Structure 1
């Protein structure tokens, strides 16, 4: 049975959104059955192409995911049979056999409508044989649905570099045991949470392109983290990561103006923040910190709570935030945590103290050329009254980011400090990197 399309067929935008949502779930189901990343991706692409041709004419099937799995499975079997005929073999390889009695399920058979294979796909992409960078790249490609070119842009490398990197990651997975058992899920949980954190960040503040947000990525990261939290409700770090995402995403509507320009945290209309997400995130992190060992995601969520629970930026408890960042740097040291700690120190002890902390990051290769380090330094120099140096740093930061909204924001800050311009702003340090 089909849901009939409206006269003239479903809109291309709605159909594209549905297919993007279903793609990782279908790919996960195919991999669970056939264990061949490249062939399953090819079969999925053929099924999606068939859907874009058939559904606008015949209507969307009642169970579109099962329809795609059925069509993709048939395409996969056709590929195997074609390969068999070409090589005149009964199997594609000596190590993998497909049962002759394989029955391709129909739309209503053997595939529960509420089953979601995306988590299986996510844990597979976080295979321990891969480097963290390859795990993120493969997840963005397979789960997030980004093109190879978009993944390359997120990593600031050419597409010609990223394509082989993703191919090597898939080949490495195929060369190892890809059967996911309970221990494998437990061993990979830390990597999975880190990848979801990075995918969410890429969706919340895109590293390149004309838009500040990639809502499809941040929404999918939240959905998958919710699924893991349902499976592991007593894990404090899973709850902490979900809380962090919700508390951060709650501010999304207020982060851009009508033209898509970036609005920093200090200038956002707090009435536009999502009170429901703030309440849920606060409840999650409070409960986790009361009953679970403290972890970095819980600490970051607690900091996010302190930012969103006050009615005005002037009421922000910077001393408490400084304490939490100091704790975060102790249990999970990384340069971005140090950068944010320096901002909190500047707000409590003055811009000079913050600038002194930033100077230690300049020697860190991970941060030396990062635009956020230069943007933060620019703002602290502006607060300290060194407007000429601040202006140069704003312009340098604008040159180092591939995000067009951030470029415009940073150049506007620099223009404000032009020699014939008005007095320097006295906004707080987070203005330098947006909200």
Structure 2
């Protein structure tokens, strides 16, 4: 049975606050696995007691204390870890100068870990996804993902990978992984067609601002911050009163946050100036978002400009998803037949629900009802978030049999 709205909100609160608690506890106990076990226990206790006793005034503080106490219990029971007991029992101390969550991002993205492991660890620790959810997101069997995450945590412990923000000279080699991780965090919270988690969006934006302070002239950081702000500017218009997604074409642009659009557009310009010869992919994606943000109405969108930016993006980051998004833009500028031909030319996305859904939309516009329903059926048959499934079912129901 689905969770009632109040309990679902409580689950989201606990999950989102748990990310910050985990980051703090890892710093204190120096062991990712121990911290995860303790935070998991604390979240279970919260979900058991808060519905009865009420949500505390400081949820994160409550979870932190509960997790720390659980860590102490675990340490005391395991003789092999008694050397860490003092760290786990340190309930008070001087404030840290560096941000705990930013430390965790850099730990996940240490170059000693393979890129696919960095991504998996980030999804698990920063986004709060379960191991099965991470496995589905990365199209890997659950057993394989469990082993991958376990090995990653063991490697962090054995290699003594420091839990800190690196020195200035170490930042460039970590930056690509760190930005990818923060963007994953943003996307998990943004949920284009899934259930949004605003707390994760806010965390991602906050972390990107911190990265900008660390590397103020880095084009990729400017581009990521611009992209996040331009997308988040639509927050209040992206769902209707019943919580259902509202597509970009149907959003009330009067509800978009003008100050975020303005800041994002300025950052796009600065990012382009910082990378004149080979624009950074994040800057280019932000430029595409700016094309949408600056159009007073969906009908006023400059699709030629959008397609031009997609061509630039393909030159610096050619992926099947980018090609799919460009094909959708072709359909908007040149009509559904041209868009459908462009989508059908994209390969490597047979297991990507949005490819089938995009085809379905264009087929429906062409009046090919049976083919449109078949394309929606193909999209609905693939693993995805429950909210996204519900969204696709509603779209499919609009196509007359």
Per the normalisation by structure 1, the TM-score is 0.75
Query: Aligned-pair distance for 1:74?
Result: 6.9
Q: Secondary structure at the match of 1:111?
A: coil
Q: Secondary structure at the match of 2:159?
A: coil
> Using the alignment, how far apart are the partners of 2:389 and 2:67 within structure 1?
42
**Equivalent residue runs for 1:85-100 within 5 Å:** none
CA RMSD of aligned residues (A): 3.7
> Using the alignment, how far apart are the partners of 1:18 and 1:262 within structure 2?
21
> Using the alignment, how far apart are the partners of 2:331 and 2:190 within structure 1?
25
- Equivalent position of 2:189 in the other structure: 203
- Equivalent position of 1:316 in the other structure: 301
1:283 corresponds to which of 239, 249, 266 = 266
> Using the alignment, how far apart are the partners of 2:397 and 2:222 within structure 1?
42
1:232 aligns with 2:204: no
> Using the alignment, how far apart are the partners of 2:263 and 2:110 within structure 1?
31
Query: How many correspondences in the alignment?
Result: 390
What's the CA shift string for 1:132-161, capped at 9, x where partnerless?
Answer: 443233223222333445444544667555
Query: Aligned-pair distance for 1:29?
Result: 4.1
Check whether the contact 1:236–1:288 (CA below 8 A) recurs between aligned residues. yes
> Using the alignment, how far apart are the partners of 1:99 and 1:160 within structure 2?
32
> Using the alignment, how far apart are the partners of 1:203 and 1:161 within structure 2?
25
1:223 corresponds to which of 184, 187, 206 = 206
Query: Aligned-pair distance for 1:177?
Result: 3.7
1:117 corresponds to which of 100, 103, 111 = 100
> Using the alignment, how far apart are the partners of 1:33 and 1:268 within structure 2?
45
- Equivalent position of 1:429 in the other structure: none
What's the CA shift string for 1:14-66, capped at 9, x where partnerless?
Answer: 99777656544444344445432212333445677788999999x9799975x
- Equivalent position of 1:370 in the other structure: 352
**5+ residue gaps in structure 1?**
1-10, 420-435
> Using the alignment, how far apart are the partners of 1:26 and 1:321 within structure 2?
41
Q: Relative contact order: is structure 1 or structure 2 higher (C-alpha 8 Å, sep ≥ 6)?
A: 1
Query: Aligned-pair distance for 1:257?
Result: 2.0
- Equivalent position of 2:3 in the other structure: none
1:351 corresponds to which of 336, 355, 364 = 336
**Equivalent residue runs for 1:49-64 within 5 Å:** none
Check whether the contact 1:399–1:407 (CA below 8 A) recurs between aligned residues. no
Bigger mean CA deviation after superposition, 283-292 or 348-357:
348-357
- Equivalent position of 2:35 in the other structure: 40
Change (3 A) 1:155 1:121: same
**5+ residue gaps in structure 2?**
1-5
Change (3 A) 1:349 1:37: same
Choose between structure 1 and 2: higher helix proportion. 2
Check whether the contact 2:123–2:185 (CA below 8 A) recurs between aligned residues. yes
Check whether the contact 1:70–1:104 (CA below 8 A) recurs between aligned residues. no
Larger Rg: 1
Q: Secondary structure at the match of 2:207?
A: helix
- Equivalent position of 2:363 in the other structure: 381
1:397 aligns with 2:382: no
Change (3 A) 1:150 1:369: closer
